[in-house]
Structure 1
Amino acid sequence: MSKARALMFLLATLLFHLYTGDAQKSCDKSDITIKVLKISTVIQKQQVYIAVFRTSCSCKMKDVHFSCDGLQNSIVDPDRNFVDVDRSGMCTLQRTLTMNSPLQIMYSSETPVNFRVLSVTPAC
C-alpha cells in the first residue's frame, strides 16, 4: 500500500509541476521593448529609422497594438506585411512576436516616433 501512495504522490507532484510549468501566462505588454535605431539615410528632409520590437516572454505575443503617431506621415512606407498603420496614430503588428525573432519596421520621420505598446495577447 505504501508503494501505491508513493506513486500517487509522485503522480500528483508531476501533474502539479506540468500544470504550473507553463505559468508564463503573466506575460503582458511590459515584456515588449521597442528600440529605435537611426540609420544614415535622409529622404526629403526625413531621417530614416528602424524600430526593433522584441519580447522577453517565452510565449508568443499576438495582437500587439501600439501608439505610433507620426508613422502615418512616413515617406518610407512601413512594410504592411509587418504593421498595419491607421490614420489616428495607432498600429498593430501583423506578425506574431517571439522571444528569439525580433520584428523590424523601417520608417522615416523628422523626429523619431514615440512608440508605446498599448495591448498584447500572450499565446501560451
Structure 2
Amino acid sequence: MTCAIVSTSTLELGIDVGDLDRVTQIDAPRSVASFFQRLGRTGRRPGTTRNCLFLAIQRHEVAWTAALLLLWSRRFVEPVTAPPEPRHTWLNSCWLYACRRTGSDRGFGSKDGTGCRRSIAAQNRS
C-alpha cells in the first residue's frame, strides 16, 4: 500500500507526521535548513536511509538544487535569528490556551467562528 502526504512547508513546522520513506521536493527549498528539516522526516526506522527526490520545474532550479546539496554536504546550515520581540507568538499561544480552557475553538462571544482568528490578525497588524 502506498501512502503520501502532500504539503507546503508543513514538514518544517515540527508537526510529527511519522517516518516517511521519501520526501519528494518540487524545486529546491530556499535554505539548507529547510532542506535538512524536510530530509529529517525520512530514514528514521532502523535499516533505512534518508531519501529525498528533487523535481526541478524550471531549468535554473537544477543549479539551485546542486548548490543546496553542495552546501549541505559541507555541513553548512544558515544561522537562525530569532525576531527581536516576538509578541505576536506569545499572544497567539495565550489566546489559543484561553480558547482551549473555555472549550471553544470559535473564540469568545463569536457567532461566526472567527473570534480567535480576528484577534490574532489584529495583533499581527499592529
- Range into which the TM-score falls when normalised by the shorter chain: under 0.3
User: Which is strand-richer, 1 or 2?
Assistant: 1
Report the structure, 1 or 2, having the larger helix content: 2
Highest RCO, 1 vs 2 (Cα 8 Å, sep ≥ 6):
1
User: TM-score normalized by structure 1?
Assistant: 0.21
Q: Which one has the largest radius of gyration? A: 1
